[in-house]
Structure 1
Amino acid sequence: MLTMTELFDYLTEQKADFTIIPHPKPIQSLQDAAEYFEPQKSVPTFILDDGVGLIALFSSSGRGRLDLKRIAEKLNISRLNMADRRKIFKLTGYEAGGIPLIGLSLPCIFDGRLRTFDYIYGGSGNPLHTLKICPLDVKRLNDVRWVLDD
C-alpha cells in the first residue's frame, strides 16, 4: 500500500504524466467528480475474483454496466465475479471504492476505451486525493495481462 508521498515519488521516478488532486471530501459520485474534472474521464477500479485470485479492472465510466460473463468469455477467463470487500482489503490493504490506479500487485485488465483520453482520473488509494494520469502510464505501470477492446 503506497502513501501519497510514495505514490508521488514512484510516478515521478517512472516519468509518468500525472497530477495528484487534493479535495476536502471523498468523491462518491460522478456529480461529486464534476467539481474537479470531466466525469466521463473517471475510471473506477473494479476488483474481480476469477476463483483463483483477484484481478483489477480499470474501466471506462462510459462502458456502463459491466457484463462479467461477456468479459470473461472475451478474455478466455473461465469465470469472473465481483470480489468480496473483505477479501479485497485483506489482499490489497485498500477498501473497496478506494482502490488506486497505480500500486496494486494484481494482474490487471485495461479498458481499451481509455486510450482515447489525454488524461483519466481515478483512485490514488487515499479518499481525499484523486490521481490524474495519462492512461498509457496506467497501462505501462501495472501488470496488464488483458486489454478489453470492443
Structure 2
Amino acid sequence: MNANKEYLENPEPPQSTDEYDNKLISYLRANQMAAEHLRLHTLCHSVEDAAQAVQADKADFVKNVCMIDGEGHLLVAIVKGEDRASTSRVGKALLIPPPRLALEQEMLQLAGYPAGGIPSFGFTATFLIDPKVLEQEFVYTGGGSPYSLTRISVQEMVRVNQAIVARVRK
C-alpha cells in the first residue's frame, strides 16, 4: 500500500506545500510503512471536505489535535473525525494539568508540518489515541499539508507513533 496517488479535480495545489508532502513521503519510505499518501487538488479544511475529496466515509477520518503541556512539550490527541479532543482528559491520561491547544506557529515549529496537514506520526511528540479510533481498520490522517492525506491501518499507526491508548474525546 506504500504509494503516492494524486486526485485530479481542481487546479494544482500551491508548490509551497510540496516540501511538507515530500517530507512525509520520505518518512513513509524510510520507515517502510504500509501507508498510502494521497496528494489532493483541493484544500481540505474539514473532515467533510476531505471525505468528499477522496469519496470516503467521514467515519474513516481522524483528527490530530495538537496541545502543549506545562513544559512546552507537544502532545497529539488522535480522535475520530466527528469527535472533539478534551484537554482535561489528556491531562488526566498523562497525570498532568490540562494542556493548552497549540498555536499554528507552534504546530509548524514542533511537529514540522502546518496546521491542517499534521499526520498522526513522523515527529517527536507524545501521541494519545482514543479507543474509538481503534475500532477502525484503516483511517485517513493528515498527509503533511492541507492538500494531502495519508491512508493507514490503525495498527500500523499505533506501531509507529507508540501512542498511549486513552479516552481523550469529549
Q: Which of 109-118 and 70-79 deviates more?
A: 70-79
Residue identity matched to 1:82: L
Q: Partner of 1:21 in structure 2?
A: 38
Q: Deviation of residue 107 (structure 1)?
A: 1.7
Whether 1:7 aligns to 2:24 is: yes
Structure 1 runs (4+) greater than 4 angstroms displaced: none
- Give the aligned length: 147
8 Å CA contact retained: 1:24, 1:128: yes
Whether 1:54 aligns to 2:74 is: yes
With over 3 angstroms needed to count, the CA separation of the structure-2 counterparts of 1:72 and 1:126, relative to structure 1, is same
Residue 139 of structure 2, aligned match among 120, 123, 130: 120
Residue identity matched to 1:147: V
CA distance in 2, matches of 1:132, 1:20: 7
Q: Partner of 2:166 in structure 1?
A: 148
Q: Partner of 2:101 in structure 1?
A: 82
Report the TM-score when normalising by structure 1. 0.82
The 3-state SS of whatever aligns with 1:126 is: coil
CA distance in 2, matches of 1:6, 1:91: 15
Q: Deviation of residue 5 (structure 1)?
A: 4.5
Residue identity matched to 1:19: E
Unaligned 5+ residue runs, structure 1?
none
RMSD: 2.2
Q: Which protein has greater RCO, CA pairs closer than 8 Å, 6+ apart?
A: 1
Identity %: 23
Q: Partner of 1:109 in structure 2?
A: 128
Residue identity matched to 2:166: L
CA distance in 2, matches of 1:148, 1:18: 24
With over 3 angstroms needed to count, the CA separation of the structure-2 counterparts of 1:4 and 1:34, relative to structure 1, is closer
The 3-state SS of whatever aligns with 2:70 is: coil
Residue 95 of structure 1, aligned match among 95, 108, 114: 114
